[in-house]
Amino acid sequence: MKRIGYLGPEGTFAERAARTYAERIKIIEPVFSPYPSIPETMLAVLQEKVEACVVPVENSLEGSVNITLDMLAHEIDLPIAGEVILSIKHFLLGRPETKNNIRVLVTHPHAFAQCYRYLRENLPDVEVQLVSSTAEAARRVREAPPGWAAIAGEEAGARYGLAVLSPEIQDSPGNKTRFLVLSREPVPATGRDKTSLVLALPEDRPGGLYGILGVFARASINLTRIESRPAKSELGDYIFFLDCMGHAALSPLREVLDDLKGCTVMLKILGSYPCAPGVDC
């Protein structure tokens, strides 16, 4: 694995996550390729433009990245090969002379929400323009007239030649984003693994989800995440994303997954992969 795609442009947190992953698994001379959207980043792996890709899946403040979940559930069959968890620090960036005269603020919707308290208190009347990534915000401000500023990571500011007008403006110091690594090939068990899956219940009935959770509980398998998403069929129909400890090819999770086949109408294993460093696993 040498070519890794990520949600671009250059300078995004996704690029940092891709570089972190490449360093972790000791890829020699990796090549990083930015793509303009999450779907295009994922499809680059299927189209064999890259061997793997890195996309955001959830943030500790704003929750899940829905397009990533929907692509995994409905659009692609690429196993998750790893995860990267980054601490996210947002900076107010722009030309130095802009600091006291910010008229237009450019950023990504999640970054805007994660810095809302700071913006409410310090820039209540600024015009806000939302773009596809924080790095794209920095790129646009580089080319904009005076009076424009961006919320982005410090790396993006350095990449696009912007000064730090105010550092670490995120509302929570514990702001973290989890990224998934997708590849064409599954990874072997390491003894420190988690598995992601998505399932649908046969019908909306009392205790249906409780029964699914009981299958894991009886096998003493810890669920680390559960989330519902619309099934994209009828109003009120949902699918459920679960993360659990263990590898799908090994006991006891292997037997649990066999049991789930009999009580679900859809069960898709999204991948078994090593837990990120520092995660209880």
What does the pLDDT look like over 17-68, one tens digit per residue?
A: 999 999 999 999 999 999 999 999 999 999 999 999 999 999 998 899 999 9
The residue that leads in pLDDT, 80 or 133, is 80
Q: What is the mean pLDDT of residues 169-188?
A: 93
| 253-261 vs 208-218: helix crossing angle, rounded to 10 | 150
- Of 37-51, 169-183, 191-205, 243-257, the poorest mean pLDDT is in 191-205
pLDDT at 62: 87
Is the pLDDT at 8 greater than 80? The verdict is yes
Quote the distance between the C-alpha of residue 118 and its chain's center: 24
pLDDT at 138: 96
pLDDT at 85: 97
| Residue (of 218, 219, 273) closest to 24 by Cα position | 273
Q: What is the mean pLDDT of residues 133-158?
A: 95
Residue 278: band (very low, low, confident or very high) from pLDDT cuts 50, 70, 90: confident
Q: What is the pLDDT of residues 217-266, one digit of tens each?
A: 999 999 999 999 998 888 878 999 999 999 999 999 999 999 999 889 99
- Name the β-bridge partners of 225: 243
**DSSP code per residue over 200-240:** E-SS--TTHHHHHHHHHHHTTPPEEEEEEEE-SSSTT-EEE
pLDDT at 204: 65
| Residue (of 173, 125, 129) closest to 151 by Cα position | 129
Is the pLDDT at 203 greater than 80? The verdict is no
pLDDT at 41: 98
* Domains in the chain: ranges and CATH: 3-87+176-183 (3.40.190.10), 91-166 (3.40.190.10), 193-274 (3.30.70.260)
Is the pLDDT at 153 greater than 70? The verdict is yes
